[in-house]
Structure 1
Amino acid sequence: MEAVSTLEMNRIEWLQLRKSGIGGSDASAILGFNRWKSAFQLYIEKTSEMVEEIDNEFVYWGNVLEDIVAQEFARRTGKKVQRVNRMLRHPDYPFMTANLDRRIVGEKAILECKTTSTYNKDAWEGDEVPAAYICQLQHYLAVTGFEKAYIAVLIGGNTFVWKEVARDDEFIELMIEREKNFWQNNVLANVPPAIDGSESASELLAKMYPQDDGSAIMLDEQSNTLIEAIESLKAEEKQLEKQRKEYENQLKMTLGEAAEGHSNCFKVTHKTVVTNRLDSKRLKEEQPAIYDKYVKESQSRRLSIKEAN
Structure 2
Amino acid sequence: MAEGFAAALAQAGRETQGLLRERLAGHDLPVARAMEHAVAGGKGLRGFLVLEGARLHGVAREAALLPAAGIEALHAYSLVHDDLPAMDDDDLRRGRPTVHVAWDEATAILAGDALQTLAFELCADPDVGPHRADLCLSLARAAGIAGMVGGQARDIMAETAAMPLDIDQITVLQQGKTGALIRWSAEAGAVMAGADPRPLGRYAAALGLAFQIADDILDVEGDAAKLGKAVRKDAGAGKATFVSLLGLDAAKTRAAELVEGACDALSPYGAEAATLRDAARFVIARDN
Q: TM-score, normalised by structure 1?
A: 0.24
Per residue, is there more strand in 1 or in 2? 1
Q: TM-score, normalised by structure 2?
A: 0.25
Per residue, is there more helix in 1 or in 2? 2
Larger radius of gyration between Structure 1 and Structure 2: 1
Q: Which has the higher contact order (CA 8 A, sep 6+)?
A: 2
